[in-house]
Structures are given as C-alpha cells and as structure tokens.
Amino acid sequence: MTAQRGSYEFHLNGLKRYLVGVAVENDFVSDEEFDRLLDAWFGNIARVLEPGRSFYIWGGYANLGNYPRPLAACDLYYSQGIVWDKAHPVLSRTRSP
C-alpha cells in the first residue's frame, strides 16, 4: 500500500484548521472494487477464525453500512457498530477524489 503525505484544510466551529496526515492510495476505489476488497478481507477472517471466536472491525462511521452484506456472505455475524462522538473530524473512504 502506498501512502502520500498531505495537508487538508477544514473548518471546525467557524475556525480554519489543518490536518496533516496520510492519504491512502486506494481511498478512491470504485464501489465495486471496495465491495471486492471487503469480500476478500472478510473471507480471510472467516477462513482463519476459530469457531466461537470473535473479531473487531476498526473503521469509520461512513462505512458501517457497507459491512453487513459481505459479512453475511462469509457466514460471519454482525452484532453492532460503536461510533465515537469526536470533536475532530476523521478521514474516511470518500466517494470521489
């Protein structure tokens, strides 16, 4: 995975802020490619997870709706999503560059 340094401008409570971070190379994959990636990732979890064990998915709020279908396709049980109410924005998968 290739990463790129970037500086992102945003506004919080009327103040201009800058977030300096890393832009992930596959941030702008198509919806079909993202679904393929989820199927592969969750398929790997299902393949190696021992019966009765649990797992956690660490991801952004915007992706919670993407998880149930591929998890069910891999016979994995989706129990719940936990979302933190943060004072600062979190970068997540975006729809367009």
What is residue 1's predicted lDDT score, i.e. its pLDDT?
Answer: 38
User: Is 47 domain-assigned?
Assistant: yes
Residue 3 contacts by C-beta under 8 Å, 6 or more apart in sequence? 22, 23, 24, 25
Percentage of the chain surpassing pLDDT 90?
33
What is residue 7's predicted lDDT score, i.e. its pLDDT?
Answer: 55
User: Is 81 domain-assigned?
Assistant: no
User: Is 80 domain-assigned?
Assistant: no
User: Is 42 domain-assigned?
Assistant: yes
pLDDT in tens, 70-96: 999 999 998 888 877 777 665 555 554
User: Is 91 domain-assigned?
Assistant: no
Structural domain boundaries enclosing 59: 3-73
Residue 97 contacts by C-beta under 8 Å, 6 or more apart in sequence? 28
The backbone torsions φ and ψ at residue 71, rounded to the nearest 5 degrees and listed phi first, read -65, -45
User: Is 78 domain-assigned?
Assistant: no
Q: Is 41 helix (H, G, I), strand (E, B) or coil?
A: helix
pLDDT in tens, 4-62: 445 556 656 666 655 555 555 656 778 898 899 999 999 999 999 999 999 988 877 77
- Count of the separate structural domains present in the chain: 1
Burial class (CB in 10 A: 0-12, 13-18, 19+), 96: exposed
